[in-house]
Amino acid sequence: MRREKRESLGSRRKNGWGMDLYRNRSEGWIGGVCSGLADHWGVATWMVRLAAIALLIFTGSLAFWGYIAAWIALCPRPSRWEREEAEVEIEMEYDEDRHTYRKRTVFHYPDAPTDRLGKAQQRLNEALGRVESMERYVTSRRYDLNREFSKL
């Protein structure tokens, strides 16, 4: 029985714990733990590194041992060919801004409220411009002429 649990634990580790959670050795400084967590959460790597340093300063050796445990618990990110063989299913979600599907992340930061307000203002200005051009056309002589031609 113990052997089955170890195999399932090992396979879960190799599959990124079912959450696409791996160490990123290519962008990592020491072990790739911080860059792997940043990839998983969808945040900048420097933010995770800053949080790790802050934890190291405030908790001392606890953060160090947590980093070592994460280093052991997280498998290195497989290459593209290894990933195709494993066929790991990753949850995807639709990104409205890019009109494509992307990997679902824990932290998804939408545009800032000021940016969204600016986009809404731009859309309203464009709609107002279209309404004004329609009003100019409907009140013009050309509209009357086109209407008379359409009656023929």
Q: Kindly report, residue by residue over 66-79, the tens digit of the pLDDT.
A: 888 888 887 777 76
CB-based contacts of 77: which residues, under 8 Å, 6+ apart?
22, 23, 24, 25, 26, 32, 36, 39
Which pTM was predicted? 0.47
Is 15 within 8 Å of 86 (Cβ atoms)?
yes
| Half-sphere CA count of 128, side-chain side, radius 13 A | 6
Instruction: Tell me the two tokens of residue 134.
Output: 């329609």
For residue 33, is pLDDT > 80?
Answer: yes
Evaluate if residue 32 carries a pLDDT over 50. yes
Is a pLDDT exceeding 90 seen at residue 27? no
Mean of the pLDDT values across residues 93-110? 69
Write down the pLDDT at residue 5. 47
| Among 6, 10, 14, CA closest to 88 | 14
